[in-house]
């Protein structure tokens, strides 16, 4: 089964890839296509904008986190019932893990899936020079297929005429979008980028939808659709054999009824404070256990039949006062943690399990959190960003003998450890972690780290679920 599709790449970050991606999704929907969106890279926020427009769950595609086979599997499984796929790129087209090659970049993923690229070029402060920049991108790696250009932030018709004249003499690929600078098309941002779609009220969501319709009018969908149909797309029959871990996990899924019969019920925190989840992760858990969502902000406690808790990333610092005020929920989670319920927490979830959070917008007040770990979270103005690779150095967690864990970290906070005896179970071969290249608090049966992980191509979720099964039998 082959599905047409395109990759939206940019010359740099901040050129409007998300804005243009959702406009293309909007325009394709208007023309009767079933559109499956994807986000290249580990970003949690941009997919929420895809979801808003497409009404389908956007998926992340990341070579480092998922492996090539895991990436292909996710793409094929989730696009099989769609008419068109739209993949929003990450950073600049060729930006990946290092400067030596394209590994993990938008260009890398486009090549793996054999999908054409529409290159978004920011037209501000240049005209003829844009042709030189674009030509450089085309020639930089001849194996990468840039099939169309979208010009963003055009100042005027005269400005556009200069750009088109330069392109006509130098660039052989078509311009498929001409978007003029419009200051009324506003998108709200915060320290980690766009505000997650879940936090936007109905009015702001309507504004984003209307913006995408306006931008779609400046795109040449006849050419875009033609480009999306011209490439030979991957077929399931051509997928390489999956990695050993992936095959093992598939065989375990065939026995999923046994786990469902064991009354495994996992609560996943989902509200304005905690909403950073990979859809594939939730799907993998759902295949083997009962998944329910709860709100540390609004719910009073964790239900007693819960056998596992997941606290994802997000922005607990923004409304830390409300998390603090829900003392019943904080006590409920602490009580269950001390009774050895399996808890897995990432980034925002880690912050919630410390004693306090302070420093957001330079506020000095310390807001009390769960307090499972004797540490305090302090917001900073410095970002920690990058891929991680961890070596698990403890055999006493529900992760068992799992050794290498790949992930990524992205935060504007530091965790200050108050107790030198706190156990940190990860030694990082790559990344910063909580302190000095170490990550992953462990206490009772809880693990909390700055590192975000993807369950595809890993036995991580299997180990967590097995821990939940054991807890259910106590």
Instruction: Compute φ and ψ for 279, nearest 5 degrees.
Output: -60, -35
Cβ pair 178, 167 in contact under 8 A: no
3-state secondary structure of 370: coil
Cβ pair 142, 36 in contact under 8 A: no
Cα 31 from Cα 375, distance rounded (Å): 53
- Please report the DSSP string for 162-214 in residue order: HHHHHHHHH--SPEEEEEE--TTS---EETTEEPPGGGS-HHHHHHHHHHHHH
Cα 62 from Cα 12, distance rounded (Å): 18
Which of 179, 347, 351, 390 is flagged as catalytic?
A: 347
Cβ pair 438, 230 in contact under 8 A: no
The encoded tokens of residue 132 equal 């030189």
The encoded tokens of residue 266 equal 């996992």
Instruction: Tell me how many degrees the CA angle 75-79-80 measures, rounded to the nearest 5.
Output: 115
Question: Does the annotation count 347 as an active-site position?
Answer: yes
For CA atoms 452, 455, 456, 460, the dihedral sign is positive
Strands 367-368 and 356-358, sheet pairing: antiparallel
3-state secondary structure of 141: coil
The encoded tokens of residue 156 equal 């005027």
Active site residues: 347
């Amino acid at each position: 089964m082959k599905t047409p599709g395109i990759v939206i790449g940019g010359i740099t970050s901040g050129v409007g890839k998300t804005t243009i991606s959702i406009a293309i999704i909007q325009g394709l929907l208007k023309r009767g296509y079933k559109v499956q969106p994807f986000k290249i890279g580990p970003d949690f926020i941009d997919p929420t904008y895809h979801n808003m427009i497409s009404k389908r769950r956007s998926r992340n595609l990341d070579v480092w986190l998922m492996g090539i086979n895991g990436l292909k599997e996710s793409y094929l499984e989730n696009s099989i019932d769609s008419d068109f796929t739209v993949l929003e790129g990450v950073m600049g087209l060729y930006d990946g893990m290092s400067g030596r090659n394209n590994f993990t970049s938008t260009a890398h993923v486009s090549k793996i899936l054999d999908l054409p690229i529409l290159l978004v070029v920011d037209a501000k402060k240049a005209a003829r020079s844009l042709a030189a920049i674009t030509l450089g991108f085309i020639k930089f790696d001849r194996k990468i297929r840039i099939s169309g250009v979208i010009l963003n932030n055009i100042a005027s018709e005269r400005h556009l005429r200069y750009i088109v004249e330069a392109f006509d003499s130098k660039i052989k690929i078509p311009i498929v979008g001409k978007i003029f600078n419009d200051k009324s098309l506003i998108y709200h941002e915060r320290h980690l980028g766009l505000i997650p779609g879940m936090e936007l009220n109905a009015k702001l969501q309507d504004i984003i939808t209307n913006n995408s319709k306006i931008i779609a009018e400046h795109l040449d969908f006849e050419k875009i659709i033609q480009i999306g149909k011209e490439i030979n797309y991957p077929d399931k029959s051509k997928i390489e054999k999956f990695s050993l871990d992936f095959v093992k996990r598939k065989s375990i899924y065939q026995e999923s009824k046994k786990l469902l019969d064991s009354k495994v019920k996992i609560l996943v925190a989902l509200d304005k404070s905690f909403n950073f989840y990979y859809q594939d992760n939730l799907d993998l858990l759902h295949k083997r256990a009962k998944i329910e969502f709860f709100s540390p902000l609004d719910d009073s406690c964790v239900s007693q039949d819960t056998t596992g808790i997941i606290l994802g990333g997000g922005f607990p610092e923004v409304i830390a006062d409300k998390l603090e005020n829900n003392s019943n929920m904080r006590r409920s989670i602490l009580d269950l943690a001390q009774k050895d319920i399996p808890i897995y927490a990432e980034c925002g979830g880690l912050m919630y399990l410390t004693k306090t959070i302070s420093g957001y917008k330079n506020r000095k007040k310390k807001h009390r959190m769960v307090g499972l770990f004797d540490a305090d979270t302090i917001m900073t103005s410095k970002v920690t960003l990058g891929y991680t690779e961890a070596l698990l150095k403890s055999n006493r967690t529900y992760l068992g003998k799992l050794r290498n864990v790949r992930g990524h970290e992205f935060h504007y906070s530091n965790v200050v450890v108050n107790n030198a005896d706190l156990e940190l179970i990860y030694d990082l071969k790559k990344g910063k972690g909580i302190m000095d290249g170490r990550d992953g608090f462990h206490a009772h049966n809880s693990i909390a780290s700055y590192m975000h992980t993807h369950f595809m191509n890993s036995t991580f979720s299997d180990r967590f679920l097995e821990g939940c099964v054991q807890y259910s039998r106590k």
